[in-house]
Amino acid sequence: MSTIRLGDTVPDFEQDTSLGRIRFHEWAGNAWVILFSHPADFTPVCTTELGLTGKLQPEFEKRNVKAIAISVDDVESHKAWTKDIEATQKTVVGFPIIADKDKKVATLYDMIHPNQSGTATVRAVFIIDPQKKLRLTLTYPLSIGRNFDEILRAIDALQLSDACNVATPGNWKNGDDVIIPLTFQDEEVIKKKFPKGYRAERPYLRFTPQPDK
């Protein structure tokens, strides 16, 4: 089995979820997608993560992002777990949780790492663009909860980079200055592309105000 790499078209699949059966590519439509895996239902770290995802739904919708979770338990277990998540995390789980009891999706996306567990999925995150291309992955061990602010920040950076042909510096946040990529060398082109101007700390390190602000 080969690992999915950045830029690859992600595998399609048909599977049951807590909100009905889906074919993944069709369900995704023209949206960005966050696909994130969970070792099992009724586990403490996962409960907090799904709660955070529910609370961030309005932010995802602003960015044309659909969230979808996956766990190796069945649909009835997912539905029961959803009630616990909503009660303890004070939110609504309005996104589907894939029922992957046969581990078909976990295998397709290489979510089971034997040195962590032979049966449970690691905490994998796949950010997928509207062309169904894998754009970013994050992999956490079973015991460590994910940073959903970072997931949102990464989506902002990816969408800005696509729209404006820029790069983002370390710790960049929406509204900060961005970097002019080295592919831009012609000064006339740079002036037209980045009319707000730029500052060059080195010939290869050029900052410009965020173009869409």
The three-class DSSP label of residue 67 is: strand
Q: What tokens does 10 get?
A: 């992600």
* Number of CB atoms found within 10 A of residue 191's CB: 11
Residues composing the chain = 213
Out of 28, 34, 46, 75, the active site residue is 46
3-state secondary structure of 131: coil
Q: Is 164 a catalytic residue?
A: no
> CA-to-CA distance for 143 and 179, rounded, in angstroms?
35
**Residue among 87, 145, 155, 142 at smallest CA distance from 116:** 142
Contact 58, 85 (CB under 8 A): no
> Which residues are catalytically annotated?
46
